[in-house]
């Protein structure tokens, strides 16, 4: 009986014009998302390589490591092409210094506002907006539509158990929508390595999980539609109700959640934090300036003293002051940053907690976690940059004998001066951004994948209970 | 006859449960978006004012013109409440210094990534996505729905001219849907006034033009619904076609157009360009130092054979001249670097402009893009916002640098006078006293007039009008041939 009902549902959906049109649209969109995503990755990767090469090239010919302007770059993530998350909003370039706080700049949307206007078409967008709408379109009249046409009464004139009927409705709709969609998805996935996306085992696993989350999300809207269809008498009412739910889930709740948390948890602005830091640094500088002036007054170079030797002593004094100052600044700045970060974490938790009332937010969070383009990306990149700064500082210290910060260059014009040797920029330690392991990423997304499953179960249970009490006449 | 048909259509819309639900949702959404927008704007203004005060304080606390750091901030725009455009994507501030290029950095979304994840909701977004969907929902069965229910045949059993019928359908649907919408819009404007959003007369005009454009966009979807309904026999088919058209117009075409332009016109990454500038800067400074060293050698050569007293005398006599030569060379180096940066930026901007033109031309096939571009232009939150601010900040940088250079020169002269007679003195800073910054030039954000805002929007508003006329013409023609049975 169950098989017959599933078959009927399948035939009904697959044989409809609605299916042909929506399947065509979805297939084109999915293939387009994979293709354009892969091409975008290639462009971003080429830009990244060119920027790295240009960065090293601009150092060629320099003779002092102290004059190096070194930049490091966040490489594009392969799966960001399918789930962009915040990858276009984070700064991708960091000007490297041996000391002090580093700031990442040049986010894609800041540099190319044209892409910010309409944003990108990625797999996450297609699932969360287009497929959810089509899921509603296929199931909004699953129960009440049959009643309106009189086929529900006919079906129940036979000995059909209600539980099997509702289950077959869902399974049929899910198979009819999900299985054909696998075709463009699989073609798209095959295109990725062909188009030069470096897909590792971890990337494939995560892509698989993204698709699984997409199917669970599709399931949420199918079960919800059947549920609403079993709650209402007319298909027009269920469609209207579902459209309202869709607007709230997709467009309203995620945005309102962020705004509520923004109002509830006060996070000091970056400007204020920076001002505090600058003020503290300025105070330290004022104090040290007195010491420097005193040194210059109390230890003037005596007549006939070798100037280079005097400068060496002065440099040692300055380096000591500079190191002390930097240590204090870093400690103070670190405390401010930590305080801001803690507040930010509370704000994020509240926002995401509220946003998770919407399956769309849950899906977005799950997929961005899996693709490595979630809110964590910014923090992870910042941590990688800070780790690299230590390596870089060590390298510069080895090369120059100083930790950087303040350099004194003695330029003399003696004819006996030797031609200085050029530095080799390729000796610089290479910055590698390590993506988190798939275990970490999948682990981070489990809560949201679980929530999607829970939404499915709750809506199915609702549909089941509502249908058991449904008046089929 | 026309009025009877018009009244019937109006009643059919206003009395349907669909209308109550959609009107309620639209009202809530519009009011919510404006309320949130006003609060966000006020938060931005607070942040902007605090940042300016802090930057001023930092300048006032400086003790030397050599160590002065200044920043210019992008001023929040009251119309961002209605059309945020790229306002949150582009940087909020730029360092203003003689040594560094002007560059907007620290966007709202970069500082607060949480907002980037789900984005903001504004009036334009609601009109673009939600209202257009509702317009379809009300008109997809305007003609074929009447045929299916048999009322079309009944109506035309009387002497009803088809032209009047379709005109009444259009007028009824437009009035029935647009007039009620004016209520939440009027309330939204009231919120703006009550919550003390400082709007100038020009901004009110721009806002009215923005609302007018929104209604025109809404009208387009009404006539599109009529057209498809007049082209198809069954309402289920027209709904499907319209939904696909909506998905294409609102969600796909705008994105696909920019992505296609991104693929066709190659623009080098900013990191690449910056590294090129760095390279030139490094090379130019190197040659400056070499020239300086050469001059120093020449100067030393002049003093060969002199005793210490003669040397001191000679040095004192020529010190000004040598310093002047160094200053001239430094200025020349800076001018060269500025010229290189200007050329590189110009090349980059040309390519970006080409990419943008292509993207917008392609995207204008979608009325949704035309609407978005028009509203962004009217609100002043379009893609030129960044360039506009950077240009005005560059002009400010020039006057700021000029002022600071003069002050530095004065400081240097004072320092030289204090140093005369001493052999080696190293001084740090200009003293304990804060600087007098009362005459320091202040940054003024660029303002645009109503004409400047409307001019770039005319193409898009014209396109929206054209799309609507074409669709209505199509609906009219199709209905004249429609089989009412």
How many Å apart are CA B106 and CA B393, to the nearest integer? 15
| A213 or B96: which leads in pLDDT | A213
Cβ contact (<8 Å) for B258 and A114? yes
Which residues does B337 contact at the CB level (< 8 Å), separation at least 6?
B280, B281, B284
Contact B269 A47 (CB under 8 A): yes
pLDDT > 90 in chain A, percent: 28
Are A68 and A427 in contact by the 8 Å Cβ rule? The answer is no
The 3-state DSSP class for residue A473 equals coil
Instruction: Spell out the residues 6+ positions from residue B395 whose beta carbon is closer than 8 angstroms to its own.
Output: none
CA distance A58 to chain B (A): 4
Rounded-to-10 torsion of CA B91, B95, B96, B98: -130
Q: Per-residue DSSP letters for B223-269?
A: HHHHHHHHH-S-HHHHHHHHHHHHIIIIIIHHHHHHHHHHHHS----
Q: Is the pLDDT of residue B13 over 50?
A: yes
* Token pair 């992870």 in the structure block, residue: A380
* Phi, psi angle pair for A121, to nearest 5°: -100, 100
Contact B96, B398 (CB under 8 A): no
B142/B227 Cα distance (integer angstroms): 9
Say which of A50, A61, A91 has its CB closest to residue B272.
Answer: A50
CA distance B11 to B9: 5
**Helix, strand, or coil (residue A242):** helix
CB atoms within 10 A of CB B277: 18
- State how far residue B161 is from chain A, nearest Cα, in angstroms: 31
Scan residues 375-434 of B and list those with Cβ closer than 8 Å to A: 376, 382-383, 385-386, 423-429, 432
Taking CA atoms, what residue in B is nearest to A276? B54
Q: Is A49 on the interface with B (CB under 8 A)?
A: no
* Nearest residue in chain A measured CA to CA from B24: A244
Residue of higher predicted confidence among A448 and B101:
A448
Asked if A43 is an interface residue toward chain B (Cβ–Cβ < 8 A), one would say: yes
B residues 14-33 closer than 8 Å to A (CB): 17-18, 21-22, 25, 29, 32
Residues recorded for chain A: 473
- Rounded to the nearest angstrom, the minimum Cα separation between B383 and chain A is 6
ipTM of the modeled complex: 0.78
- Contact of B54 with chain A, judged by CB distance below 8 Å, is answered with yes
Number of CB atoms found within 10 A of residue A50's CB:
18
- Our CA angle for A448, A454, A455, nearest 5°, is 90
Helix, strand or coil for residue B95? strand
Phi and psi dihedrals of B64, rounded to 5?
-140, 145
pLDDT-based confidence at A447, cuts 50/70/90? very high
Q: What per-residue confidence (pLDDT) applies to A305?
A: 66
Strands B91-96 and B105-107: antiparallel
The segment with the largest mean pLDDT, out of A181-190, B64-73, B107-116, is A181-190
pLDDT of residue A413: 45
Highest mean predicted confidence (pLDDT) among A60-69, A353-362, B258-267, B284-293: A353-362
What is the mean pLDDT of the segment spanning B96-114?
84
Task: State the average pLDDT over residues A206-218.
Answer: 95
CA A189 – CA A78 distance, rounded (Å): 12
Residues B398-419: pLDDT tens digits? Answer: 898 888 888 877 777 776 666 5
Residues 346..375 of A with a Cβ closer than 8 Å to B: which? 347-348, 351, 355, 361, 364, 368, 374-375
Q: Do A259 and B429 touch (CB under 8 A)?
A: no
B290 to chain A, any CB pair closer than 8 A? The answer is: no
Give how far B135 is from chain A: nearest CA, Å. 13
Which of 327-346 (A) contact B at CB < 8 A?
Answer: 344
Pick from B284, A220, B43, A15: nearest CA to A7? A15
Mean pLDDT of the B32-38 span: 90
The mean-pLDDT minimum among A360-364, A416-420, A446-450, B77-81 falls in A416-420
What is residue B432's predicted lDDT score, i.e. its pLDDT?
53
Mean pLDDT (whole number) for B158-179: 89
Residues 433-462 of A with CB under 8 A from B: none
Mean pLDDT in residue range A217-222: 95
| pLDDT for residue B105 | 86
Q: How far is A272 from chain B (nearest CA, A)?
A: 7
C-alpha dihedral (B11, B16, B18, B22), degrees to nearest 10? 50
Q: Are strands A70-73 and A93-96 parallel, antiparallel or unpaired?
A: antiparallel
Q: What percent of chain A has pLDDT over 70?
A: 95
Given pLDDT bands bounded at 50, 70 and 90, which one contains residue A412?
A: very low
**CA nearest B129: which of B26, B261, B216, B28?**
B26
The two tokens of residue A154 are 């006919």
Which tokens is B295 given? 């001059």
Q: Does A237 touch chain B (CB under 8 A)?
A: yes
Element (H, E) at B407: helix B384-419
Say whether residue A398 is in contact with chain B using an 8 A CB cutoff: no
Q: Which residue of A has its CA nearest to B62?
A: A282
Question: Chain A to chain B, count of Cβ pairs less than 8 Å apart?
Answer: 267
Mind telling me how many Å the CA of B274 is from chain A's nearest CA? 9
What confidence score (pLDDT) does residue B434 get?
Answer: 63
- B52 min Cα distance to partner chain A (Å): 9
Residue A309 has pLDDT above 80, yes or no: no
Q: DSSP for B11-36?
A: HHHHTSHHHHHHHHHHHHHHHHHHHH
Region A227-256 average pLDDT: 89
The tens digit of pLDDT for each residue in B206-220 reads 999 999 999 999 999
Q: Is the distance from CB of B82 to CB of B124 less than 8 angstroms?
A: yes
- From the list B54, B248, B297, which residue is nearest A413 (CB)? B297
Spatial separation of the C-alpha atoms in residues A213 and A370, rounded to whole Å: 10
**Better-predicted residue by pLDDT, B432 or B246:** B246
**B-chain residues near A353 (CB < 8 A):** none
Q: How many helices (H) and strands (E) in chain A?
A: 17, 3
Picking from A340, A287, A402, the residue whose alpha carbon sits closest to that of residue A101 is A340
Under an 8 A CB cutoff, do B386 and A113 touch? yes
Cβ of A236 under 8 Å from any chain B Cβ? yes
Specify whether the CB–CB gap between A18 and B240 falls below 8 A: yes
Check CB contact under 8 Å for A116 and B86: yes
Q: Is the pLDDT of residue B236 over 90?
A: no
Query: What is the distance between the alpha carbons of residues B385 and A19, in angstroms, rounded to a whole number?
Result: 43
**Residue from A22, A40, A110, A347 whose CB has the most chain B CBs within 10 Å, to mutate:** A110
The closest CB to that of B255, out of A39, A120, A254, belongs to A120
What are the tokens at A20?
């042909």
Over residues B137-154, the pLDDT tens digits come to 889 988 999 898 888 888
DSSP class per residue in B113-140: HHHHHH----HHHIIIIIIHHHHHHHHT
**Residue range A429-444, pLDDT digits in tens:** 999 888 888 888 888 8
Instruction: Name the token pair of A393.
Output: 């500082």
> Which residue in B117, B97, B95 sits closest to B106, CA to CA?
B95
Whether B130 has its CB under 8 Å from any CB of chain A: the answer is yes
A71:B275 CB<8 A: yes
Q: pLDDT at residue B69 above 80?
A: no
How far apart (Å, rounded) are the C-alpha atoms in residues A103 and B94? 14
- Which among A282, A364, A375 is the nearest to B61, CB-wise? A282
User: Using 50, 70 and 90 to split pLDDT, how confident is the model at B266?
Assistant: confident
**Residue B72's pLDDT is what?**
92
The answer for B 174-203 residues in CB contact with A (under 8 A) is none
**Alpha-carbon gap: B360 to the closest alpha carbon of chain A (Å):** 9
Nearest to B271 among A59, A106, A261 (CB): A106
B234: contact with A, CB 8 A cutoff: no
Confidence check: pLDDT of A405 > 60: no
What is residue A415's predicted lDDT score, i.e. its pLDDT?
47
Q: Cβ contact (<8 Å) for B251 and A130?
A: yes
| pLDDT for position A300 | 73
Tell me the residues of chain B between 241 and 260 that have a Cβ less than 8 Å away from chain A: 241, 243-244, 247-248, 251-252, 254-259
Residues 375-394 of A with CB under 8 A from B: 375, 378
> Cα(A214)–Cα(A132) distance, rounded to whole angstroms?
10
**Alpha-carbon distances, residue A323 vs A279, A284, A330 (angstroms):** 18, 12, 10
Residue of A nearest to B289 (CA): A411
Question: Measured between alpha carbons, how far is A53 from A49 in angstroms, rounded to an integer?
Answer: 6
Angle of CA points B327, B332, B336, to nearest 5°: 150
The CA distance from B14 to B4, in Å, is: 15
Contact A251 B115 (CB under 8 A): no
When pLDDT is averaged across residues A385-412 and rounded to a whole number, the result is 74
Q: Tell me if B255 and A119 make a contact (CB, 8 A cut-off).
A: yes
User: What is the average pLDDT across A413-425?
Assistant: 64
Identify the CA nearest to A250 among candidates B129, B105, B243, B6. Answer: B129
Q: Which of residues 76-135 of A touch B (CB under 8 A)?
A: 85-86, 89-93, 105-107, 109-121, 125, 129-130, 133
Q: What DSSP line would sit under B361-383, residue for residue?
A: HHHTTSHHHHHHHHHHHHHT-ST
Q: Please indicate whether, in this complex, the C-beta atoms of B89 and A109 are within 8 angstroms of each other.
A: yes
């Amino acid at each position: 009986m169950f098989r017959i009902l599933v078959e009927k549902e399948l035939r009904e959906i697959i044989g409809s014009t609605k299916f042909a049109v929506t399947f065509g649209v979805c297939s084109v969109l999915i293939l387009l998302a994979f293709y354009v995503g892969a091409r975008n990755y290639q462009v971003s990767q080429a830009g990244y390589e060119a920027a790295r090469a240009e960065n090293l090239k601009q150092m060629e010919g320099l003779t002092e490591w102290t004059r190096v302007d070194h930049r490091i770059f966040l490489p594009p993530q392969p799966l960001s092409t399918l789930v962009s998350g915040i990858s276009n909003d984070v700064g991708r370039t960091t000007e490297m210094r041996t000391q002090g706080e580093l700031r990442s700049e040049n986010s894609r949307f800041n540099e190319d506002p044209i892409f910010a206007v309409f944003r990108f078409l990625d797999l996450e967008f297609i699932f969360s907006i287009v497929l959810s709408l089509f899921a509603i379109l296929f199931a909004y009249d699953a129960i009440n539509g049959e009643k309106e046409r009189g086929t529900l009464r006919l079906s129940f004139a036979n000995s059909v158990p209600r539980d099997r009927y509702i289950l077959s409705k869902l399974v049929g709709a899910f198979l009819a929508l999900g299985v054909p969609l696998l075709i463009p998805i699989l073609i798209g996935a095959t295109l990725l390595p062909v188009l030069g996306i470096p897909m590792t085992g971890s990337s494939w696993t995560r892509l698989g999980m993204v698709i699984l989350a997409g199917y669970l999300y599709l399931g949420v809207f199918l079960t919800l539609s059947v549920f609403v269809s079993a709650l209402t008498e007319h298909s027009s009412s269920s469609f209207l109700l579902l459209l309202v739910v869709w607007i709230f889930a997709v467009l309203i709740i995620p945005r309102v959640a962020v705004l509520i948390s923004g109002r509830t948890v006060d996070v000091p602005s970056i400007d204020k934090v920076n001002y505090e830091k600058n003020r503290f640094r300025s105070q330290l500088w004022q104090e040290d300036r007195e010491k420097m002036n005193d040194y210059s007054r109390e230890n003037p170079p005596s007549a006939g003293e070798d100037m280079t030797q005097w400068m060496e002593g002065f440099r040692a004094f300055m380096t000591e002051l500079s190191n002390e100052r930097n240590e204090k600044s870093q400690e103070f700045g670190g405390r401010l940053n930590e305080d801001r970060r803690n507040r930010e974490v509370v704000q994020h938790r509240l926002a995401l907690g509220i946003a998770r009332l919407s399956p769309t937010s849950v899906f977005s969070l799950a997929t961005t976690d899996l693709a490595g383009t979630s809110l964590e990306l910014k923090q992870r990149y910042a941590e990688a940059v800070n780790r690299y700064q230590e390596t870089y500082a060590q390298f510069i210290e080895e090369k120059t004998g100083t930790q950087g910060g303040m350099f004194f260059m003695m330029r003399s014009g003696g004819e006996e001066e030797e031609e200085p040797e050029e530095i080799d920029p390729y000796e610089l330690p290479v910055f590698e951004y390590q993506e988190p392991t798939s275990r970490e990423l999948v682990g981070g997304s489990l809560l949201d994948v679980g929530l999607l499953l829970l939404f499915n179960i709750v809506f199915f249970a609702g549909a089941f209970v509502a249908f058991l009490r449904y008046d089929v006449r | 006859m026309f009025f009877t048909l018009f009244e019937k259509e109006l009643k059919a819309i206003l009395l349907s449960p669909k209308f109550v639900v959609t009107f309620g949702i639209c009202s809530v959404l519009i009011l919510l978006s404006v309320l949130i927008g006003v609060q966000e704007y006020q938060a931005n203004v607070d942040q902007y004012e605090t940042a300016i005060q802090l930057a001023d304080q930092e300048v006032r606390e400086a003790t030397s013109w050599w160590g002065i750091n200044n920043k210019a901030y992008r001023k929040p725009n009251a119309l961002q409440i209605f059309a945020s455009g790229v306002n949150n994507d582009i940087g909020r501030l730029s360092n203003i210094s003689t040594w560094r290029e002007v560059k907007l950095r620290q966007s709202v979304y970069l500082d607060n990534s949480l907002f980037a994840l789900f984005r903001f909701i504004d009036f334009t977004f609601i009109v673009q996505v939600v209202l257009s969907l509702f317009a379809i929902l009300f008109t997809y069965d305007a003609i074929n729905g009447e045929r299916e229910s048999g009322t079309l045949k009944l109506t035309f059993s009387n002497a009803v001219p088809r032209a009047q019928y379709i005109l009444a359908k259009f007028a009824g649907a437009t009035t029935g849907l647009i007039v009620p919408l004016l209520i939440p819009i009027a309330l939204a404007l009231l919120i703006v006034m009550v919550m003390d959003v400082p709007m100038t007369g020009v901004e009110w005009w721009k806002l009215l033009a923005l609302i007018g454009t929104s209604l025109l966009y809404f009208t387009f979807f009404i006539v599109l619904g009529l057209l498809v309904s007049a082209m198809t026999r069954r309402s289920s088919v027209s709904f499907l076609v319209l939904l696909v058209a909506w998905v294409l117009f609102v969600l796909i075409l705008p994105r696909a157009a920019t992505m296609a332009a991104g693929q066709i016109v190659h623009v080098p990454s900013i990191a690449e360009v910056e590294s090129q500038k760095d390279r030139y800067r490094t090379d130019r400074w190197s040659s400056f130092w070499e020239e300086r060293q050469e001059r120093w050698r020449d100067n030393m050569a002049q003093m060969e054979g002199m005793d210490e007293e003669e040397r001191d005398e000679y040095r004192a006599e020529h010190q000004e001249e040598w310093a002047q030569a160094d200053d001239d060379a430094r200025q020349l180096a800076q001018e060269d670097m500025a010229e290189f940066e200007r050329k590189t930026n110009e090349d980059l901007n040309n390519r970006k402009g080409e990419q943008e033109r292509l993207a917008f031309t392609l995207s204008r096939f979608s009325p949704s893009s035309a609407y978005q571009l028009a509203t962004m232009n009217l609100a002043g939150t379009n893609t030129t916002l960044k360039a506009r601010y950077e240009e005005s900040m560059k002009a400010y940088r020039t006057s700021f640098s000029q002022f600071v250079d003069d002050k530095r020169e004065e400081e240097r002269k004072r320092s030289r006078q204090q140093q005369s007679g001493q052999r080696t003195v190293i001084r740090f800073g200009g003293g304990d006293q804060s600087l007098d910054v009362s005459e320091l030039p202040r940054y003024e954000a660029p303002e645009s007039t109503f004409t400047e805002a409307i001019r770039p929007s005319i193409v898009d508003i014209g396109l929206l009008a054209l799309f609507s006329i074409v669709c209505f013409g199509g609906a009219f023609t199709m209905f004249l041939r429609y089989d009412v049975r």
